[in-house]
Amino acid sequence: MTEKVLEIRDLHVTFDTPSGPLEAVRGVDLDVSSGELLGVVGESGSGKSVTFLATMGLLPARARVTGSVILAGEQLIGASAKQLRSVRGRLLSMIFQDPLSALNPVHRIGDQISEMLRSHQNLSARDAEKRAIELLDIVGIPQPGDRARQYPHEFSGGMRQRVVIAIAIANNPKVLIADEPTTALDVTVQAQILEVIERVQERFGTAVVLITHDLGVIARVADRVNVMYAGRNVEQGTIDSLFDHPSHPYTRGLLASLPRPGKQRLKPITGFPPNMLNPPSGCAFHTRCEFAADICKEDLPDLVSFGDLETACVRARELPKSESFS
Amino acid sequence: MSEDLLNVTNLVKNFDLRVNNGARRKKRIVQAVTNVSFSVGKGQTLGLVGESGSGKTTVGRCILRLIEPTSGTVEFEGQDLGSLKFEELRALRRKMQIVFQDPFASLDPKMTVGSSISEPLIVQNVPGDHADKVIELLELVGLSADHAQRFPHEFSGGQRQRIGVARALALNPALIILDEPVSALDVSIQAGVINLFEDLQSRLGMSYIFIAHDLSVVRHIADRVAVMYLGKIVEIGEQQAVYEHPTHPYTKALLSAVPLPDPKTERSRHRIMLEGDVPSPVNPPSGCRFRTRCWKAQDVCAQEEPMLTVRPSGQMSACHFPES
Type of residue at A238: T
Task: Count the neighbouring beta carbons within 10 Å of the beta carbon of residue B129.
Answer: 8
User: What is the pTM (predicted TM-score) of this model?
Assistant: 0.91
Task: Classify residue A254 as exposed, middle or buried by CB count within 10 Å of its CB (0-12, 13-18, 19+).
Answer: buried
Residues of chain A under the 50 pLDDT cut: none
Is 90 exceeded by the pLDDT of residue B138?
Answer: yes
Separation CA A254–CA A252 (nearest Å): 6
Is 3.40.50.300 the CATH classification of the domain at A4-227?
A: yes
Q: How confident is the model at residue B53 (pLDDT cuts 50, 70, 90)?
A: confident
Contact flag A188-B257 (C-beta cutoff 8 Å): yes
**Closest Cα in chain B, distance from residue A94 (Å):** 23
Instruction: Give pLDDT, residue B20.
Output: 65
* Helix, strand, coil percent content, chain A, rounded in steps of 5: 35, 25, 40
Separation CA B211–CA B301 (nearest Å): 28
Is 80 exceeded by the pLDDT of residue B2?
Answer: no
Contact flag B188-A43 (C-beta cutoff 8 Å): yes
Task: Count the neighbouring beta carbons within 10 Å of the beta carbon of residue B24.
Answer: 7
**Closest Cα in chain A, distance from residue B278 (Å):** 9
Mutate to test the interface with B, among A44, A196, A257 (most CBs of B within 10 A): A257
The model's pLDDT over B204-226, given as tens digits with 9 standing for 90+, comes to: 999 999 999 999 999 999 999 99
Picking from A156, A194, A195, the nearest residue to B277 by CB comes out as: A156
Mutate to test the interface with B, among A159, A161, A199, A258 (most CBs of B within 10 A): A258
Using DSSP, state whether B71 is helix, strand or coil. Answer: strand
Instruction: Give pLDDT, residue A307.
Output: 83
Instruction: Please indicate if any CB of chain A lies within 8 Å of the CB of B106.
Output: no
Contact flag A258-B243 (C-beta cutoff 8 Å): no
Q: Between residues A71 and B86, which one has the greater pLDDT? A: A71
Q: Tell me which residue of B257, B259, B253, B258 sits closest to B229, measured CA to CA.
A: B253
Separation CA B137–CA B183 (nearest Å): 23
Separation CA B54–CA B234 (nearest Å): 11
How far is the CA of B139 from the CAs of B131, B133, B166, B218, in angstroms? 13, 10, 9, 26
Q: Which residues pair with B6 in a beta bridge?
A: B40, B76
Contact flag B264-A326 (C-beta cutoff 8 Å): yes
Type of residue at A316: A
Instruction: Give pLDDT, residue A299.
Output: 86
Q: How confident is the model at residue B103 (pLDDT cuts 50, 70, 90)?
A: confident
Q: How confident is the model at residue B250 (pLDDT cuts 50, 70, 90)?
A: very high
**Closest Cα in chain B, distance from residue A158 (Å):** 8
Contact flag A268-B192 (C-beta cutoff 8 Å): yes
Q: In the predicted model, what is the mean pLDDT of residues B137-151?
A: 93
Instruction: Give pLDDT, residue B276.
Output: 79
Q: In the predicted model, what is the mean pLDDT of residues B277-285?
A: 88
| Chain B residue with the nearest C-alpha to that of A183 | B183
Q: How confident is the model at residue B302 (pLDDT cuts 50, 70, 90)?
A: very high
Q: How confident is the model at residue B148 (pLDDT cuts 50, 70, 90)?
A: very high
Separation CA B25–CA B174 (nearest Å): 45
Using DSSP, state whether B228 is helix, strand or coil. Answer: strand
Is 80 exceeded by the pLDDT of residue B25?
Answer: no
- In A76-105, the residues whose Cβ lies within 8 Å of chain B are none
Separation CA A25–CA A94 (nearest Å): 19
Q: In the predicted model, what is the mean pLDDT of residues B143-156?
A: 92
Q: How confident is the model at residue B141 (pLDDT cuts 50, 70, 90)?
A: very high
Instruction: Give pLDDT, residue B27.
Output: 76
Q: Number of A:B CB contacts under 8 A?
A: 124
Instruction: Give pLDDT, residue B21.
Output: 63
Q: Tell me which residue of A264, A220, A270 sits closest to A250, measured CA to CA.
A: A270
Separation CA A1–CA A93 (nearest Å): 21
Q: Using an 8 Å Cβ cutoff, are A70 and A134 in contact? A: no
Q: How confident is the model at residue B242 (pLDDT cuts 50, 70, 90)?
A: very high
Domain ranges for chain A: 4-227, 230-311
Contact flag B274-A192 (C-beta cutoff 8 Å): yes
Instruction: Give pLDDT, residue A273.
Output: 86
**Closest Cα in chain B, distance from residue A29 (Å):** 24
Instruction: Give pLDDT, residue B22.
Output: 63
